[in-house]
Amino acid sequence: MTNTTITLQQFHNLLADAYAVCVNDTLYFVGYDTDDNPYISDNNGDDYVDLSTVDGDIEVDDYAVSFWVQGEPIRMLFLNIALLNK
C-alpha cells in the first residue's frame, strides 16, 4: 500500500465528483456553503465538518483519504452511488 500526498485543491476536486462519503462507518453527504466551500454532514445536519481547511497533509492510499480537521483525524471513503433508470 502506497501513500500519496495531495493538495487541498486536489482534495476539493475529488469532493466535487462525490455525492456522499463514509467516515468511520457513518454516511455523510457532500455540500457547499454560501462561499462555495465544501463540507460534509450527516442526514440530519447534526454532525457537520467544514472541509475548507485541513490540518497538515492530505494522504491518499489504496482505499481512502486521510487528514485532520481541527485536531480530529478523518479517514474518508468516497462512495460511488449510481442512479439506475429502469
Q: Decide if 47 is inside a domain.
A: yes
The residue among 82 and 27 whose pLDDT is bigger is 27
> How confident is the prediction for the chain on average, in pLDDT?
87
Percent of the chain residues topping a pLDDT of 90: 59
Q: What is the pTM of this model?
A: 0.80
- Whether 86 shows a pLDDT value over 90: the answer reads no
Q: Decide if 50 is inside a domain.
A: yes
What pLDDT score was predicted for residue 82?
Answer: 59
Q: Decide if 84 is inside a domain.
A: no
Per-residue pLDDT of 19-40, as tens digits, reads 889 998 889 999 999 999 999 9
Per-residue pLDDT of 51-70, as tens digits, reads 998 999 999 998 899 999 99
Domain range enclosing 53 = 4-79
Buried b (16+ CB within 10 A) or exposed e, 14-41: bbeebeebebeeeebebeeeeeeebbbe
Q: Decide if 86 is inside a domain.
A: no
Q: Decide if 45 is inside a domain.
A: yes
The CA-atom distances, in angstroms, between 82 and each of 18, 38, 39, 65 are 11, 21, 21, 21
Number of domains in the chain: 1
